[in-house]
Amino acid sequence: MSYIHVAACFLLVAAAGGIVLALASRRRGPVPAAVLLTVLVLFLLTAVFDTLMIASGLFHYAQDPLLGLHIGLAPIEDFAYPLAGALLLPALWTALRARRRAREVSTENDEARG
């Protein structure tokens, strides 16, 4: 299995999880502009730090399973993981916040009745 296959599976799971969590929150999901800004910052950090770590010899990749596209020394496949995090984590945050609010409203209603 090539790196792109692993990255695609990871992205598919993260995107599906993000969609499910955004729908489960019953409110609007994460702000798209904030997610886009997060993706851009994470891509920049990935490019810089992966390049530094690869250049210093901390790790290397077998060339056969790579697509061959690089940003700096970082293979393009490495950018799937920050993208997955930027898709999944804001949706998880939104869903957990909506769950907490629903619990607080339920508690307030119980106290008002009792």
- pLDDT per residue over 24-70, tens digit each? 776 666 778 888 898 999 999 999 999 999 999 998 888 888 888 89
Q: Which of 110, 87, 108 is nearest to 30 (CA)?
A: 87
> From the centroid of its chain, how far is CA 53?
22
Judged by phi (left if over 0) then psi (alpha if -120 to 50, else beta), residue 26 lies in: left
CB-based contacts of 17, cutoff 8 Å, min separation 6: 88, 91, 92
Residue 114 binned pLDDT confidence (cut-offs 50, 70, 90): low
Tell me if 86 sits within 8 A of 44, measured CB to CB.
no
- pLDDT tens readout for residues 62-100: 888 888 889 999 999 999 999 999 888 888 888 888 778
Predicted TM-score (pTM) of this structure: 0.74
Looking at the DSSP assignment, which residues form a beta bridge with residue 74? 71
